[in-house]
Amino acid sequence: MTPGARNVLTGAAVFAALSFVAVQTPAQQRKLGAAEQARGTNLPGTGDIPAAGSGDATTNPAPGLTAAATPGTPPGARPAAGGGAPVADSATCSPGRNGGATDTGVTPEKIRLASTHVLSGQGSSFLGDSHIGIQAVVADVNSKGGICGRLLDLTLRDDGWDAALGASFIQNFLNDATGYFALPVVPSSEGLTQAIRGHYLDTAKVPVVGSDGMLKEQYQDPWVWPVATATVSTMRIMAEHAYTQLGAHRFGIVYDSRYKFGREGAKAFEDYVDTLPGAHVDAFVGIDPGQPSYPDTESFNSACGPTRRCDYVAMLLEPGTALSGINSMGDDGDGRRLGFGSIGTGGAQPLFNATFARQCGQPCDGMLLWTGFNPPIGEKRNLPGVAKYVADVRAIDPGADVNNQFLEGAYLGMTVLAEALKRAGPDLTRDGLRRVMDSMTLSTDLASTLAWAPGRHAANLGAQAFAVRTAAGSFSGFADAGTGFIRDPEPGTFPSGG
């Protein structure tokens, strides 16, 4: 077989393993959502996912993923949903014998899942590829026959990172007449936050597994389990590293003043710096995202003192806004771009993607970008689980930026949900899945070991840094900064208010 023919067949197999996903503009979906809420009808875009292979995804964990077996299960019995005493009956993890329609959104043949994501709007510059990570896991699971004989049926809605629209879609998912069993990842954090604040999820008792941890609400809802390091944790880790390892004492931060992740993370950064002896935040500047330029950036430089540079500068912005701000800063007398720290500069996870690094170029050389995951950079690309992540994503989209940390986080989040579905067994229920998630410890090559417990959903408590490298003024790649995972010095602590 020629390579070209093999690629065609591989692409066809992946396509067959994916669900149908309807993608519309947010404006179209606003009209659709309002009409459907009035009528009480279903959102379109769901579909059965035909299997692209045989076997069952419950038999072997993915490379780099350690799945603990349920101890004490005798022959002929199976673990009870969510743990507990083994149950001996006719239901097994196999097609046609899996317990049937055990809960909302579950049939003998499929498990219906739905999520909002961000293909348009301000957040698309870093969240836009997240759906590829979700789809990659769905395709992989379905190509192996699904979970306990059930295929994963995924519906996605683009809400443009609009809180009200995203919350309305989530409400529609929960009110759908046929029903969705769970919401995987939900990359659109704004709508998810509004849904949590409105008690949509805990009232309906619908699980959200694998979210991005951008906002504190995700850690406070008993039905939401994040996989990413919280934004506030990343900001404290960034400050701790700058102070203890780089010797920084005079700090500056420029943050997104419109979206909650910026305000919340900036407050956590400032609060933590204030606890470090001799350290203080000289420049604390919030900017409205999405502007073509920022003429007032001189106020940031002036706040850093006579040298117009703070020791360390943190950027908590989405990529487009960060680039506009950087380009507005101007240069010092030595031709070096202002707005960067004299000792170091750090960027939060929204800036960890190749597009931002490429467009920034020389001014960002040496900038440290922080993540709670193991990206495919340096020796980490050889870890089995990381290599599988890259292969699975590129089977869906060969051009996807596998260094985008929200894409990797979405892949890990969907992987965690798939593993939890396996552990829940054939008698799949939402409450059973909740019990599984609240007792799960997961070792994975994609992150440090993750562990959840009732009332403690902050499973990922560390972050590590990777440096932007340039050659001849152009981005040449990322390099491991060698920090390893640094633990949040104040895990589970969130600023008040917001």
Question: Domains of the chain: which residue ranges?
Answer: 3-228+382-451, 231-376+461-487
> Cα 476 to the chain's mean position, in Å?
25
- Which of 309, 306, 328 lies closest to 317 in space, CA to CA? 328
pLDDT at residue 39 in the model:
29
**Tens digit of each residue's pLDDT (9 = 90 or more) over 414-446:** 999 999 999 999 999 999 999 999 999 999 999
In this structure, are residues 491 and 458 in contact, taking their beta carbons and an 8 Å threshold? yes
CATH no. for 3-228+382-451? 3.40.50.2300
How many angstroms separate the CA atoms of 81 and 143, rounded?
Answer: 24
More confident: 417 or 6: 417
As a whole number, mean pLDDT of residues 186-215 equals 94
pLDDT more than 90, % of the chain: 76
Q: Which residues of 155-174 are buried (b: 16+ CB within 10 A; e: fewer)?
A: bbbbbbbbbebbbbbbbbbb
Q: Transcribe 231-300 into DSSP letters.
A: HHHHHHHHHHHHHHTS---EEEEEEESSSHHHHHHHHHHHHHHTTSTT-EEEEEEEE-TT-S--GGGHHH
Q: Are strands 110-117 and 151-158 parallel, antiparallel or unpaired?
A: parallel
As a whole number, mean pLDDT of residues 141-148 equals 97
In this structure, are residues 161 and 127 in contact, taking their beta carbons and an 8 Å threshold? yes
How many angstroms separate the CA atoms of 402 and 381, rounded?
Answer: 11
User: What pTM does this model have?
Assistant: 0.85
Superfamily grouping for domain 231-376+461-487: Response regulator (3.40.50.2300)
pLDDT at residue 55 in the model:
35
